[in-house]
Structure 1
């Protein structure tokens, strides 16, 4: 597994558990993942709209979409996914000319950003959402049938206060860095409390890897 191309991990979220094991465990995986976001390690041009001082992670190409959120699969490291989400959007998305990194490909880049701004990220081929951190204090939108609504609130949201301190899902205190589609398919409420501390609130089970051992 030496030299694994991280940029292709978007296609194998079914078995992150095996990926972490082959990397040498949680700590080794974290260190290798951290390197993906060190500015200046990539010397090649990543194209229009991508920030200078580029990282090994390519924010302008779909195969890299899942990479920043692998931190959610490491116990207590959800805050690093949140941090990379903020950094990547702030550096690579803007209004006006060249406001998207790379080619949007019929909305891929746009939807990637918007999911993160809601505080969620859908896992490919699974009824699972990784939890990030919302960019809105209070937002609601329809889900499912019969006029059901999902409401997402963010208490204490600030420019320097976007890390999750605690979370309630449908009134229940939550300690997992993910939730299932069933948790929100018929509406509900996600209540975030945010702050500037990189708090380890995600003490529950990591997201599932249904392909592990298959």
Structure 2
């Protein structure tokens, strides 16, 4: 992903192009290929923009109305996207990486049926109106967590990921060392 961002003119231009894709109406989130574009901002060091996009698409496109699921739910892809987005996670295919955004709930816990371990994601300063959707800081098991992603080991071993939320974009998860793994270097 890093090389793609470089070839497209760097993080700022990449972000601008992604925003255009979403803002222009070109993107249709009812097609599975669109899912990653909601979260690609993480790779450009702008996880807050991923949070803003997921907190827009989920209530507007995935809801209890008659047209509350866009497209068709091929093999459960739409439902999985909605559930994982609401949990504040986006699984990166082919890697044991989950991109982090604030869940739509104050707290969620996932119990691993094999190990019995429980992984909990907790929003501090949770705002049920979904205005405070930007991660200001995070801790994993009480220690600072600056990466904008988490590995599958979190779900195997269990633990607590606490996300402090605020009303504005912050510097959390924006440094090169905080970005998701890429085959090419940032």
Tell me if both proteins adopt one fold, taking TM over 0.5 as the criterion. yes
Match of 1:112 among 81, 86, 101: 81
Where is the helix percentage greater, Structure 1 or Structure 2?
2
TM-score (norm 2): 0.91
Structure 1 segments of 4+ aligned residues over 4 angstroms from their partners = none
Q: CA–CA distance in 2 between the matches of 1:116 and 1:149?
A: 19
Tell me, which stretches of 5 or more residues in structure 1 are unaligned?
Answer: 1-15, 42-54
Q: CA–CA distance in 2 between the matches of 1:88 and 1:208?
A: 25
2:20 is matched with which residue?
35
Greater shift after overlay, 182-191 or 65-74? 182-191
1:209 is matched with which residue?
182
2:30–2:71 CA contact under 8 A, matched in 1: yes
Mapping for residues 60-209 of structure 1, pairs under 5 Å:
60-75=30-45, 77-143=46-112, 145-158=114-127, 159=129, 160-204=131-175, 205=177, 206-209=179-182
Q: CA–CA distance in 2 between the matches of 1:93 and 1:71?
A: 21
| Structure-2 change in CA distance of 1:188 and 1:144 (3 Å) | farther
1:45 is matched with which residue?
none
Q: CA–CA distance in 2 between the matches of 1:85 and 1:141?
A: 20
TM-score (norm 1): 0.80
Q: CA–CA distance in 1 between the matches of 2:70 and 2:78?
A: 8
Q: CA–CA distance in 2 between the matches of 1:168 and 1:28?
A: 31
**Matched residue SS, 2:119:** strand
**Matched residue SS, 1:147:** coil
Tell me, which stretches of 5 or more residues in structure 2 are unaligned?
Answer: none
- Quote how far apart the aligned CAs of 1:209 are: 1.1
Q: Which has the greater radius of gyration?
A: 1
2:5 is matched with which residue?
20
1:144–1:186 CA contact under 8 A, matched in 2: no
RMSD across aligned positions (CA): 1.5
1:12 is matched with which residue?
none
- Quote how far apart the aligned CAs of 1:184 are: 3.4
Q: CA–CA distance in 1 between the matches of 2:152 and 2:113?
A: 11
Structure 1, residues 152-188: CA drift from partner, whole Å, max 9, x if none?
1111111111211111112221111112112332111
Q: CA–CA distance in 2 between the matches of 1:79 and 1:133?
A: 9
**Matched residue SS, 2:67:** coil
